[in-house]
Amino acid sequence: MESRILKPILAVYVALFILFLYGPFVVLTILSFQQGPEGGPQFPIVEWSTYWYRHIFGLTEASRVAPLPIGTSMVRSLTLAFMTMVTSTVLGVMSAQAFRNKFKGSDFVFYLIVLGMITPGLLTGLGVALVSRNIFNVDRHWWSTAFVSHVVYTFPFAFLVMLAILNRFDASVEEASWSLGVSPIRTFRKVTFPLVFPGVLSSMLFAFTLSYDEFSRTLLSSNEQTLPLAIYGTFAVEIHPNLFAFGVLTTLFSFSLLAVYAILMALSVRRAKKVAIQEEIA
Partner 1 sequence: MTAAAHIFRLDSVSKRYGETVALDNINLSVDRNEYVSLLGPSGFGKTVLLRTIAGFEAPDEGRIEVNGVDVSSLPAHKRGIGFVFQNFALFPHLTVADNIGFGLANRDVPAGKDEIATRVNDIIKLVGLEGLAARGVGQISGGQKQRVALARTLITEPKLILLDEPLGALDANLRGRMRNELRAIRERLGVTFLHVTGSETEALAMGDRIIVLDHGHIAQFDIPDTVYSAPATPNVAKFLNRYNVFDGSVSGTSFKTEYGDLAFTQKTKSDRPAYAVRYDRVAVDADESAGKGPSVPASFVASEYLGSSIMYFFEAMGGKVIEVEHHLSNGAPKTFDTEKSYRLRWKPEDAIVFG
**266 binds partner 1, rule: CB under 8 A:** no
Cβ 186 to partner 1, closest distance in Å? 5
137's torsion region: left (phi>0), alpha (psi -120 to 50) or beta? left
Cβ 226 to partner 1, closest distance in Å? 38
Judged by beta carbon, residue 184 or residue 233, the one nearer partner 1 is 184
Judged by beta carbon, residue 50 or residue 183, the one nearer partner 1 is 183
Considering only 7, 133, 270, 274, the residue that binds partner 1 (CB under 8 A) is 274
Q: Which residues of 208-217 are buried (b: 16+ CB within 10 A; e: fewer)?
A: bbbbbebebb
The pairs formed by 127-132 with CB atoms below 8 angstroms and a separation of 24 or more are 128/152, 128/217, 128/221, 129/220, 129/221
Number of residues that bind partner 1 (CB under 8 A): 28
Site for partner 1 in 195-254 (CB under 8 A): 195
Site for partner 1 in 141-200 (CB under 8 A): 170, 172-173, 175-184, 186-187, 190-191, 194-195
Interacting residues toward partner 1 by CB under 8 A: 170, 172-173, 175-184, 186-187, 190-191, 194-195, 271-272, 274-279, 282
